[in-house]
Structure 1
Amino acid sequence: MDNRSKTGNTIIIEKCISIEEYVNELSTLLIQVVEDGASIGFLSPLNRSEANQYWGNVLNPGVILFLAKMNNVLVGTVQLHLCQKQNGGHRAEIAKLMTHPNYRRNGIGRLLMEKAQETALQMGRTLLILDTREGDPSNLLYSSLGYIQGGRIPSYARNENGLLDPTIIYYKDIM
């Protein structure tokens, strides 16, 4: 896997074990992507205390958080949510894929997704699912990675203008 950005900088993807040392950078990233219009469960304006509270509650036994760094700067993140149900030990959900707006189009999202998929497979998870707002650029990324549209839900999430946007559900069998 090539971990170089289009500018030639090395992108490092690592598993986050402890949130404390990253909470400020993660909160800044979350605020910036929400301000840039990302549909990841929050609406702009998002204040720092809300962002800090969110990150303080992310890590638990069913969640793996990956960080992307370029030149020691946190530039992206993704979560792998492991299904905890007895009948779902074969599946996981991709959640909150974020790339800092200033670092997009450098392959960061792709590397994060590939790392999450590789980890899921190593853990015996063979089905990945995710959802994203219809029409967002992320739809192109997920399709290019082999995710298949499983359905569309209208009026799924409120946007910053108060309107309800549809979401697309994707899945990928990684056996």
Structure 2
Amino acid sequence: MKLIGITGMPGSGKSAVIDIAKKYNMPVISMGDIVRHETVKKGLELNPENVGNTAVELRKKYGNEAVAVPCLQYIEEKYNNEEIVIIEGIRSIYEVNYFRKFHPLIIIAIHSSPKTRFNRLKSRKREDDTSEWDKFVERDLRELEFSIGKAIALADYVVINEEDYTTYLNNLEKVLKIAINDD
């Protein structure tokens, strides 16, 4: 089984890979869903502070690979017969290294400017998104503390997402096809 990991800062456009994956019947696992699930399990409301704090607590308790471990277990239980599985939302180089211990992994980084990402998050209105600039910056800094910057910097491919959605999807699909065939 080959894994394709999608990384990028919040609001960069990582979840768009889901639309493309559906087209090719490829499973997508969202690492953010695992953290949101743990937040709800603790009886907390889904908001930027609670989800962020849960991610920090998980890493303190279980180490830097805290989210990757249950994610990989889920993948191997549910998708063991798949040739390719996409992991959306890799947050650290530690997660990258963990996945690579068990399976070949190609990383695609999605990049958008802070201003673009902030505007997307404001309009997206997911429970753990914020419409306040200072909270947005705080979240970015927390993500960078997880070493997401290293995961982005060491990615095998980078897709810039500053244009319209259709152009971005076309570019992402091209890179995804290349990554699928990358040995």
TM-score of the aligned structures, taking structure 2 as reference length: 0.32
Greater percentage in helix? 2
Whose relative contact order is higher, 1 or 2, with alpha carbons under 8 Å and at least 6 apart?
2
TM-score of the aligned structures, taking structure 1 as reference length: 0.33
Greater percentage in strand? 1
